Every structure is written in C-alpha cells, then in structure tokens.
C-alpha cells in the first residue's frame, strides 16, 4: 500500500507540475501576443451566441418568443463581439452592452448571451478600482429591475441568477487580483532582497580591498623606507667605515626578510584555506620597541615617552594595532620626506588618560615635508582611527606664515583613540 500511495503521490505531483508548466507557457504566449488570445476567446463567444440564435434555444427561456429575430441576432452579437476589448476597456464594454441588456429584458427575449456581461465584470474587478465595480453593479442590475417591472410574474428567475452571477464573478476577480498583487509583491521583495544582498557583497568586498591595501601600504612602505635609509647610510659609510657598511647591509637583509615574512603572512590569509593560513598575531603596543629599533637602525633617532598609567585592562588588539600602524606610518613619512639632515630626530609620546589613549608623533623635519593629502598614508591613518571612533590630526608644527626654509618647523601627527567602545 505504501508503494501504491507513493506512486499515486508522485503521479499527482508530476501531473500538477505539467499543468503548471502548461499554464506558464499559455501566460507567456498571452503576454507576447495578447490580441491572439483575445481574438480566439471573442470568436468562441460570438459563435456560441449565434448558435444559440440559429438553433432557437433562446425561445426556451424567453418571456416573449415572438421577439423580432433580427433584434435577437443583433443583441447576441452585441453581447459577444465587444469582448475583444474586455481587457483594455472593460467598463466601456459593459456600458456598450447596457442598452442591449435593457432591450433584452424589455422585449422578453432573455437571450443567454446576456450572461457574457459577467466577463466584463470580471475584468473590471481584476483591473480597475473598487468604485468601478460599484458602477458596474448599477449598470448590470438597472435593466434587471426594469425587467422585473415589465414581467412581474417569475421575476426571481430573471433577477436572482444574474445577481448571483455578478456577486460570484466579482468575488472571483477580487480574489485573483489579490493573489496577483501578493505574488507581485513577493517577486518585488525577492528582487529587492537580491539587490541588497549584491550591494552588501560589493560593499564588503570594497571594505576588504581597502583593508588589504592599507595593510600592504603600511607593511611594504615602512620596510622599504627603512631599507632606503639603511642603504643611504651604508653607501655613505662604505668609504670611511667598512664595518658600519657591513652592519647596514646586515640590517637591510634582516629588514627585507621581515618584510617578506609579513607579506607572505598577509597573502597567505587571502590565498590559503582559513584553517591553513598563518595565524601569527598582529603587532601590539608591546612590539613598539622593535619598531623603533628598526627605525633607529635606518638612521632616524627616535625617543619614546609614556605618560599616565596604563589601564588595568589593556586596549583591545584592534586598538593596539591602530596605534602601532599610525606610529609606523608617521615615522615612515619622516624617513621618506625628512631629507638627509643629520640632525633630524623624532619623538613618540603615548599618553594614557581615563577614557582615551593619545599618541603624539613629532619630528624636526622641514615644514610641509608631508603635504596634506599626498599619497595614501594620512588617509589610511584616518581610516584606521575612524574604525574605533578615534580622531587623527596631521600637520606642520609651525604655520606656513612663520616657517621658512631656514627655520625648521617639523611635523606632527596626533591620534586620540577611546579605550572602550562608545555608542554611535
């Protein structure tokens, strides 16, 4: 029994799917060529109305079988031929049929083609506002009231069937319209959700590309600046102190290997499976001494000052990485734009306050050494700060009106970063 039920169920499902596909093809054809379907349906009803006239079937229900036959034929065609425009102008079609409906009940012919008015009523309920359906009800029932007065005996046979037909067809049109609007709303909602999903994916991809570009810039830019400083120092010392030149070359090799290691780690996260990627921790404030040691080896004296008392709970890893990268980028800019002045120095001051951590990086380079908006360094620093509701200020220590070529102004970068998340 179970197998038979399964076969029956599968057969029913297959039959239902076949019917649905057939209906979809019919709807698709109707959308492409609506006049074809309109013509076929109109032709069918015209043939039905004319056949009812030629066979004399209208006399079986007529109140007055002596009604003029030419008028009966005219009414039969008038109730069926206008259905060709039932979709585009249903209310006009019904209004056109109204005089013939009045003539139908007044003469007592009562042709069956009068029920074709309900096709126009269905299209009114399906396509026009509800108030149009009220007007349609008045147009349909008014001739029936006249017929009741014209033939008082047996009025229920004349009036009630048309009234029930109007009510049922109107309800059917409303149901189909509601179902159609509901389906269109679901399709529109699915389309909007698909667009939002694609937009979110594009935004996430853009944010990820920005983050990767920022990391690549910080890693490669800093290490190349250190290598450049070491190479310049080594070339200068090669003629006077071969030992110092050898130390510079060794430092260049160490820095290059460190840069390659960080670059491989970053690329490995992008290329490898998450379970196989290198999970080396990102730099934190504890790695600040290592960073400054590399900068000093490149020839830039850097002094670190820590003010205030660190909180009992250290800042999150993301905040520590932000401070580290900002200090790294600021010192990299000093190495790149500070010139070859042997008196060039830099200072890094970390100040802990109750609710924020401030990092101040200053150097004694010439004013305007890092023009505002040049490159991606300052933009990247601001982006990092904004991720944690922080602020970043970058600019010369002295205004341009005061600083001259002979007066060193220096450059300053100030980062303020909340220690805890604050409500946006």
Q: How many helices (H) and strands (E) does the chain have?
A: 11, 5
Domain for residue 330, yes or no?
yes
In 265-371, the DSSP E strands lie at 302-307, 346-352, 356-363
- Rg (C-alpha) for the chain, rounded Å, is 44
Cβ proximity of 341 and 365 under 8 Å = yes
In 3D space, the residue among 302, 306, 304, 394 whose CA is nearest the CA of residue 345 turns out to be: 302
pLDDT in tens, 166-195: 999 999 999 999 998 998 899 899 999 988
If one counts the domains in the chain, the total is 3
Whether 103 and 70 map to the same domain: the answer is yes
The pLDDT of 282-286, averaged and rounded, is: 83
Indicate the average pLDDT of the chain: 79
18 and 98 inside one domain: no
Q: 89 lies in which domain range?
A: 35-153
- With respect to residue 20, please indicate whether it lies within any of the assigned structural domains: yes
Length of the chain (residues):
424
> Is there a contact between 392 and 381 (Cβ–Cβ < 8 Å)?
yes
Helix boundaries (H) for 298-401: 317-337, 377-387
Average pLDDT over residues 58-67: 80
Neighbours of 17 (CB within 10 A): 10
Provide mean pLDDT across the span 348-371. 79
Q: Does any domain span residue 359? A: yes
The answer to whether residues 20 and 93 belong to one domain is: no
207 falls within a domain: no
Asked if residue 230 lies in contact with residue 299, where contact means CB atoms within 8 angstroms, the answer is yes
pTM reported for the whole predicted model: 0.51
Q: Are residues 24 and 43 in the same domain?
A: no
Q: Are 48 and 113 in contact (CB under 8 A)?
A: yes
Q: Are both 47 and 13 inside the same structural domain?
A: no
Q: Name the token pair of 217.
A: 């810039």
State both tokens at 219.
């890693």
- The average pLDDT across 34-43 equals 86
Span 196-201, mean pLDDT?
Answer: 88
Domain boundary among 153, 179, 206: 153
Percentage above 70 pLDDT, the chain? 76
What is the rounded CA–CA span in Å between residue 347 and residue 302?
5
Within this chain, do residues 293 and 421 fall inside the same structural domain, yes or no? yes
Residues 9 and 87 reside in one and the same domain: no
**Residue 56, pLDDT above cutoff 90:** no
Read off the pLDDT band of 110 (50, 70, 90). Answer: confident
The arithmetic mean of pLDDT across residues 244-255, rounded, is 68
């Amino acid at each position: 029994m179970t197998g038979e039920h399964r076969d029956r169920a599968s057969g029913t499902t297959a039959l239902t799917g076949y019917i649905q596909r057939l209906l979809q093809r019919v709807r698709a054809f109707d959308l492409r060529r609506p006049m074809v379907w309109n013509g076929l349906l109109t032709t069918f009803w015209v043939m039905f109305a004319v056949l009812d006239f030629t066979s004399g079937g209208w006399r079986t229900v007529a109140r007055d079988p002596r009604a003029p036959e030419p008028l009966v034929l005219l009414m039969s065609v008038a109730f069926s031929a206008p259905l060709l425009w039932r979709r585009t102008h249903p209310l006009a079609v019904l209004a056109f049929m109204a005089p013939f409906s009045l003539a139908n009940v007044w003469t007592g012919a009562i042709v069956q083609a009068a029920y074709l008015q309900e096709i126009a009523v269905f299209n009114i309920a399906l396509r026009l506002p509800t108030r149009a359906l009220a007007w349609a009800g008045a147009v349909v029932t008014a001739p029936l009231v006249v017929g009741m007065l014209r033939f008082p005996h047996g009025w229920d046979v004349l009036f009630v069937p048309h009234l029930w037909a109007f009510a049922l067809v109107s309800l059917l049109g409303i149901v189909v319209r509601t179902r159609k609007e509901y389906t269109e709303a679901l399709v529109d909602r699915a389309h909007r959700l698909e667009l939002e999903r694609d937009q979110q994916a594009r935004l996430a991809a853009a944010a990820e590309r920005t983050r990767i570009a920022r990391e690549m810039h910080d890693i490669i830019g800093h290490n190349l600046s250190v290598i450049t400083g070491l190479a310049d120092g080594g070339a200068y010392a090669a003629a006077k102190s071969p030992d110092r030149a050898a130390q510079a070359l060794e430092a260049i090799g160490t820095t290059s290997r460190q840069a390659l290691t960080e670059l491989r780690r970053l690329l490995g996260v992008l290329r490898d499976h998450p379970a196989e990627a290198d999970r080396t921790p990102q730099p934190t404030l504890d790695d600040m001494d290592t960073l400054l040691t590399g900068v000093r080896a490149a020839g830039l004296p850097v002094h670190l000052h820590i003010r205030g008392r660190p909180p009992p709970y250290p800042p999150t890893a993301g905040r520590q990485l932000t401070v580290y990268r900002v200090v790294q980028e600021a010192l990299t800019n000093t190495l790149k734009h500070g010139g070859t002045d042997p008196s060039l120095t830099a200072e890094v001051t970390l100040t802990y306050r109750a609710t924020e951590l401030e990092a101040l990086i200053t150097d004694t380079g010439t004013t305007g050494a890092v023009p505002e908006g040049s490159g991606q360094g300052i933009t990247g620093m601001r982006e990092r700060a904004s991720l944690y509701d922080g602020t970043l200020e970058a600019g010369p220590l002295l205004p341009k009106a005061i600083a001259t070529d002979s007066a060193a102004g220096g450059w300053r970068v100030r980062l303020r970063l909340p220690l805890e998340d604050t409500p946006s």
